Structure 1
């Protein structure tokens, strides 16, 4: 089969449909009409002699043949985009609007205090910083890059590890004076513990204590369940109970000021990752790459 420019263009359309999940979003991303996207897919199916997509009124999914075909061509598309990006000056240009979806704790405690330096470094860049508890639909929402804590979801997004922060257990001096210091992980179960809800699973995080390769899970209890890290920190400082939280700047500052006390420091080897995400169909634009590099810079 002879290869031509139309085939390459239609491959780009297919990639947009697969990653966005429907023709409407793909058409928005490509600047085409939905009918134009549909015709491009139909032409490719006719050219290949296979059906690439299952189409229903609610969803679009790859057929078995489509999955095999897309798995083979997707890396080639990424390679072509990388080559084109390196060949031109656009990859080095840091300008335009950068839409960032950031975890609220990271945004408030780490990123916001440093943003002025980033903007001074790139004066032609405009930033829209959106704080959310969930990753959401990056492509549908027009997000360029997202920064989230936790294990990456299984998706077409590229995930770049930025940091692995320690998980520590803390309490206020007043709470410990009244209820005593737990000396082992098992003793935690008898204390009042502030629960923190995982935005992905919609249930409270499980508590674990790690020392080297040894991991001890502990079933904890407490009347307070929160969904915001700032609230968790404030409630803990106020003496509402023990809490497990990430060892970031504000927490370390509270420990240094003796507003919080770390409990069981020898059992604090658990790590929690922070990732940057961007759509896999695109080689990261200069503005995205500059932002990720800046995050790595301020986190080291």
Structure 2
């Protein structure tokens, strides 16, 4: 027997009759007339081919078949009601499981220090943080929200830019002592440059330098090369700190190292190259409150 809306509706009416004790009281609960309730029960009996209620002018009693049906059906009806309440509550209440895919730099330097505040704001939120490639399929991976660096391709996803982070060209003092300090970007063709793979293209990023604005804007692309190519930003920073070569990195990951002298920014007079950070979700349709709350929290973090 197929399960359809009419069968479920009839079962709900029967349950209301049993629990209230009469057609008229069940009608008040359901917003129906007493005759409408009676017709709904009769249609259910016709569909099942058994009598469910013994009716008299003064009382209603479940038949044996009706009692067995009620006993087996009520737990499922209650489960459906509970599931509906949970889902509808998720639209207005920040609670339940949320799976987010985070760029590791954002997770480490921006979100992690603020997690206690997120927990205090939303104690019923169960957050799972994972890392997937920037080009990964969010729906296939079961991800509700992602935070990714780089321009986002046109898609059905909702995307919001969180910030623009400066791209710095840096090297360790030990490397500069050994190889000399380049005075302009073009001199990098003579240096060991650590290459980083663009996850969206599968090729190393170009080394771009920008300064000035408007008509005075100047942009330069330098064809760098080196013996080390990486996909791990942290490994690249550590290799740079160790003196393995020159690196182009996001300021977010090395500002503290530049501030304490561990790394040296080589071209502060070329400050215009930036890289965008976006927060995205797979669909524009009716996001749960937890998704909206997490996105708003990240937007606030990046605005400060």
TM normalised by structure 1 equals: 0.68
Looking at structure 2, the residues matched to 229 and 214 of structure 1 have their Cα atoms a distance apart, in angstroms, of: 27
Looking at structure 2, the residues matched to 173 and 211 of structure 1 have their Cα atoms a distance apart, in angstroms, of: 25
Structure 1 residue 284 and structure 2 residue 287: aligned? yes
For residues 49-80 of structure 1, give each alpha carbon's deviation from its aligned partner in whole angstroms, at most 9, with x where no partner exists: xxxxxxxxxxxxxxxxxxxxxxxxxxxxxxxx
Gaps of 5+ in 2: 1-87
Looking at structure 2, the residues matched to 275 and 283 of structure 1 have their Cα atoms a distance apart, in angstroms, of: 20
The farther-off stretch of 107-116 and 139-148 is 107-116
For residues 176-206 of structure 1, give each alpha carbon's deviation from its aligned partner in whole angstroms, at most 9, with x where no partner exists: 1221221111111111100001111111100
Q: 1:230-241, aligned counterparts within 5 Å?
A: 230-241=234-245
Structure 1 residue 285 displacement after superposition: 2.2
Q: 1:146-165, aligned counterparts within 5 Å?
A: 146-165=146-165
The secondary structure found in structure 2 opposite 1:127 is strand
Of the candidates 224, 230, 235, which is equivalent to residue 226 of structure 1? 230
* Cα gap change, 1:100 to 1:120, in 2 (>3 Å): same
Q: 2:271 maps to what in 1?
A: 268
The secondary structure found in structure 2 opposite 1:141 is coil
Does the 8 Å CA contact 2:150/2:275 hold for their aligned counterparts? yes
The total of aligned residue pairs comes to 212
The CA RMSD measured in Å over matched residues stands at 1.5
Gaps of 5+ in 1: 1-87
Structure 1 residue 256 displacement after superposition: 1.2
Looking at structure 1, the residues matched to 165 and 142 of structure 2 have their Cα atoms a distance apart, in angstroms, of: 29
Q: 1:209 maps to what in 2?
A: 209
The secondary structure found in structure 2 opposite 1:189 is helix
Structure 1 residue 103 displacement after superposition: 1.2
Does the 8 Å CA contact 2:207/2:221 hold for their aligned counterparts? yes
The secondary structure found in structure 1 opposite 2:189 is helix
The secondary structure found in structure 1 opposite 2:280 is strand
Q: 2:261 maps to what in 1?
A: 258
Q: 2:125 maps to what in 1?
A: 125
Does the 8 Å CA contact 1:135/1:148 hold for their aligned counterparts? no
Looking at structure 1, the residues matched to 117 and 236 of structure 2 have their Cα atoms a distance apart, in angstroms, of: 29
Which has the higher Rg, Structure 1 or Structure 2?
2
Q: 1:98 maps to what in 2?
A: 98
Looking at structure 2, the residues matched to 122 and 200 of structure 1 have their Cα atoms a distance apart, in angstroms, of: 33
Structure 1 residue 208 displacement after superposition: 0.7
Does the 8 Å CA contact 1:168/1:247 hold for their aligned counterparts? yes
Looking at structure 1, the residues matched to 131 and 282 of structure 2 have their Cα atoms a distance apart, in angstroms, of: 18
Does the 8 Å CA contact 2:135/2:199 hold for their aligned counterparts? no
The secondary structure found in structure 2 opposite 1:234 is helix
Does the 8 Å CA contact 2:135/2:200 hold for their aligned counterparts? no
The secondary structure found in structure 1 opposite 2:120 is helix
Looking at structure 1, the residues matched to 91 and 265 of structure 2 have their Cα atoms a distance apart, in angstroms, of: 45
The secondary structure found in structure 2 opposite 1:264 is coil
Structure 1 residue 90 displacement after superposition: 4.9
Does the 8 Å CA contact 2:164/2:277 hold for their aligned counterparts? yes
Looking at structure 1, the residues matched to 129 and 224 of structure 2 have their Cα atoms a distance apart, in angstroms, of: 35
Q: 2:194 maps to what in 1?
A: 194
For residues 231-252 of structure 1, give each alpha carbon's deviation from its aligned partner in whole angstroms, at most 9, with x where no partner exists: 011000000111000010x411
Looking at structure 1, the residues matched to 135 and 207 of structure 2 have their Cα atoms a distance apart, in angstroms, of: 23
Q: 1:180 maps to what in 2?
A: 180
